[in-house]
Amino acid sequence: MTDEKPTLEVSGLWAGYGEGMVLQGVDLAAARGRVTCLVGRNGAGKTTTLKTVMGLLPAARGRVLVEDADVTALPPYERAHAGIGYVPQGREIFPQLTVRENLQLGLEARGGKGQIDESIFETFPILREFLDRRGGDLSGGQQQQLAIARALMGKPKVLVLDEPTEGIQPNVIDEIGDVLRRISKDIAVLIVEQYLEFVLGIADECYVLEKGRVIMSGAPAELDQERLQQTMSL
C-alpha cells in the first residue's frame, strides 16, 4: 500500500561543511509502502543529505518533515524520537558490545525501554543465534543486519540507510535487498547507494544526485538510462 502523503519529505535542502554548500536545494520524498533510493557517485552528497536529514549537520536552508512535523531545527535524538531510523555508512555497530547490547542501544529512540521484538528475529534469524557474541566478531553482512535491526528497535516511521551494500558479498546483498523490500510494506525506506544494479532492482522510486542536486527522478524504468550511466561513471 502506498500512502498519499510521504512519511519523510525533504525540500529545498542546502547544507555543507563551511563556506561551500555541498547540497544545493535537494528535494525528495519517501513514503510507506515503497523503497525510495538516492543514487550518486562518490562525493555527490549522499551521506551529507542523510546527515542533514538526521540533524548531524545543520540545514542552511530548506526543511525536513516527518509526517508533516517539521524536524529541521531538532537535534538528532529528537529526530529519532520523531520516527527516523538511521543506518549509517560503515554500519557503526559497537564491536566490543554483544549483539544483544547493540540491539538494546536501538531502544534509545523510544526512551530506552522495551524488549527485543520477536519480529526482529523473524527478519534476522542469525541475530538470535549470535545474541551473546560480540558485534565485532560478526561478518560484514551480519553486522549490516545488526545495524538495520538496531535501527528497527526504535520502531521508526522511516528507515534511512547509507550504502547498505558497501563491502558485502553478492549473496548477502540479495538477502538485504529482500529484507528491505519486506520492511517497506510497513514503513518508508530510503536507501542511499552507489551500487546502481542493486538500486534499480529494488527501488520503486529513484532520485539521482549529482554535485548536490537532484538531476532526475522517477521509477527505475522511467529514468534516462544513458544519462544515469553517465552520471554514475563520471
Distances from the Cα of 155 to the Cαs of 59, 149, 207, 224, in angstroms? 25, 10, 25, 36
Distance in Å, CB of 89 to ligand ATP, minimum: 6
Distance from C-alpha of 10 to C-alpha of 116, rounded to nearest angstrom: 31
Cβ nearer to ligand ATP, comparing 17 with 77: 17
Query: Out of 47, 102, 184, 231, which residue is the one contacting Mg ion (CB under 5 A)?
Result: 47
> Contact letters (x/-) for Mg ion, 133-172, by CB under 5 A?
----------------------------------------
> Contact letters (x/-) for Mg ion, 1-40, by CB under 5 A?
----------------------------------------
Closest listed residue to residue 16, CA positions, set 24, 5, 8: 24
Site for ligand ATP in 22-41 (CB under 6 A): 22, 40
Residue with cell 526543511: 63
Sign of the C-alpha dihedral computed for residues 58, 62, 68 and 70 taken in this order: positive
Distance in Å, CB of 224 to Mg ion, minimum: 24
Cβ-count burial 118-153 (b if 16+ within 10 Å, e if not): eebbebbebbeebeebbbeebeebbbbbbbbbbbbb
Judged by CB under 6 A, which stretch of 43-51, 68-76, 101-109, 150-158 contacts ligand ATP? 43-51
Alpha helices in 55-195 (DSSP H): 76-82, 99-105, 118-123, 125-129, 140-153, 170-183
Query: Out of 24, 48, 142, 144, which residue is the one contacting ligand ATP (CB under 6 A)?
Result: 48
Q: Does 42 bind ligand ATP (CB under 6 A)?
A: yes
Distance from C-alpha of 218 to C-alpha of 45, rounded to nearest angstrom: 19
Distance from C-alpha of 16 to C-alpha of 23, rounded to nearest angstrom: 6
Query: Out of 32, 46, 150, 157, which residue is the one contacting ligand ATP (CB under 6 A)?
Result: 46
What residue 40 binds from ligand ATP, Mg ion, none (CB within 5 to 8 A, per partner kind)? ligand ATP
Q: Does 45 bind ligand ATP (CB under 6 A)?
A: yes
Helix (H) or strand (E) holding 212: none
- All three cell numbers of 66, joined, read 516527518
Query: Out of 2, 3, 17, 169, which residue is the one contacting ligand ATP (CB under 6 A)?
Result: 17
Q: Where do contacts with ligand ATP occur on this chain (CB under 6 A)?
A: 17, 22, 40, 42-48, 89, 194
